[in-house]
Amino acid sequence: MKFSIYQNSRQGPRNYNQDRLAYSYSKDALLLVLADGMGGHRNGEVAAHLAVKTLTDAFQRLAVPFLSSPAKFLIDHIQQVHDMIDNVTQSEELIESPRTTIVVAIIQRGFLYCAHVGDSRLYHFRDGHLLFRTEDHSVVQSLYKKGMITKEEMATHPYKNKVYNCLGGETQPKIDLSDRFELLEGDTILLCTDGVWGVLSDQQIKDIIQQNIVIADATNRLMDSAEFASDERGDNMSAIGLQWGDRQQSSDAVSTQLMPLGETTTIMNTVQQHIHDDMNLNDLSDDDIENTIAEIQNALNKTQQKPKI
């Protein structure tokens, strides 16, 4: 595989950053995952962190060097995140269950597989055209599909930020698995949170992608534009940009041709928090979250290893 990839996250006007994102690759498979934490001070951060870590850990364990079924991997492990969030809520005695949206992409043998829950999006561009975009699990998207509001009204509707499908909610999530797409040289894939697409139209996103040849430049330009367009009510902004093939010949280009069969590489985005005076610093830190996840995984493994009577 040959590709160029870049990821970034910005806190924006919020008091804290609840987004988490990462990518991981083996010799023959590539994973991109982005989660946007929801609801409750820092609680969404717990869910988003858990989602990204669970998916990357599973990928590193199973993609040696490829996944037997990318579609099954997506369904099984996104569902596992939902189940583990419930365990975190109980073990840490959290008042509110952490919640997160998620969008995950797998590229294997030249095909793109995607699954999502909520309103974090994946875009697929080719030669300046938008081939595919995930459909938000949001109230306004549902109202639009039913013909109750127009496309223009979606941007200003009072429920524009309300999602009806997430991980960690009271009901089981509906995991939306997209059709697989074959990738061609030069195709661009973008994963982003609503902090980006909520203030930039699809046309603006397409134009920025088309005007910037290097994927790192395109992704940073998107972030700059989203940050400029955000007001005091804006959100965290996160994105992963990827261009398939080696057309760019840039310093961000990756080739897995010489990777050993059992090796994987994972790049977790480092989220920088700018502390505000009104933040509660007694919430779970990232180290606390990591320890909690390890404890839960150990407990689950012991349960699974118990002999059946």
- Closest to 54 measured CA to CA, from 28, 86, 84: 84
pLDDT computed for residue 172 by the predictor: 94
Is-contact 180 113, C-beta < 8 A?
A: yes
Distance separating the N- and C-terminal Cα atoms of the chain:
47
Consecutive sets of 10 residues in the chain, 309 residues long: mean pLDDT of each? 95 89 97 89 83 96 96 98 89 86 97 97 96 93 85 76 90 96 97 95 96 93 94 86 83 86 88 51 58 61 50
pLDDT computed for residue 276 by the predictor: 44
pLDDT computed for residue 270 by the predictor: 76
The CATH homologous superfamily to which domain 2-133+169-297 belongs is PPM-type phosphatase domain (3.60.40.10)
Listed in sequence order, the residues at least 6 apart from 80 whose beta carbon sits closer than 8 Å to its beta carbon are: 54, 58
pLDDT computed for residue 88 by the predictor: 82
pLDDT computed for residue 281 by the predictor: 36
pLDDT computed for residue 292 by the predictor: 62
pLDDT computed for residue 152 by the predictor: 76
pLDDT computed for residue 243 by the predictor: 96
How far, in Å, are 122, 131, 137, 139 from residue 142 at the CA level? Answer: 18, 22, 8, 5
Ranges of each domain in the chain: 2-133+169-297
pLDDT computed for residue 293 by the predictor: 63
Whether the predicted model's global pTM rises above the 0.85 cut: yes
- Closest to 10 measured CA to CA, from 235, 282, 277: 235
Task: Please name the amino acid found at residue 283.
Answer: D
pLDDT computed for residue 277 by the predictor: 42
Is-contact 79 41, C-beta < 8 A?
A: no
pLDDT computed for residue 4 by the predictor: 95
With H, G, I as helix, E, B as strand and everything else as coil, classify residue 131.
strand
pLDDT computed for residue 288 by the predictor: 65
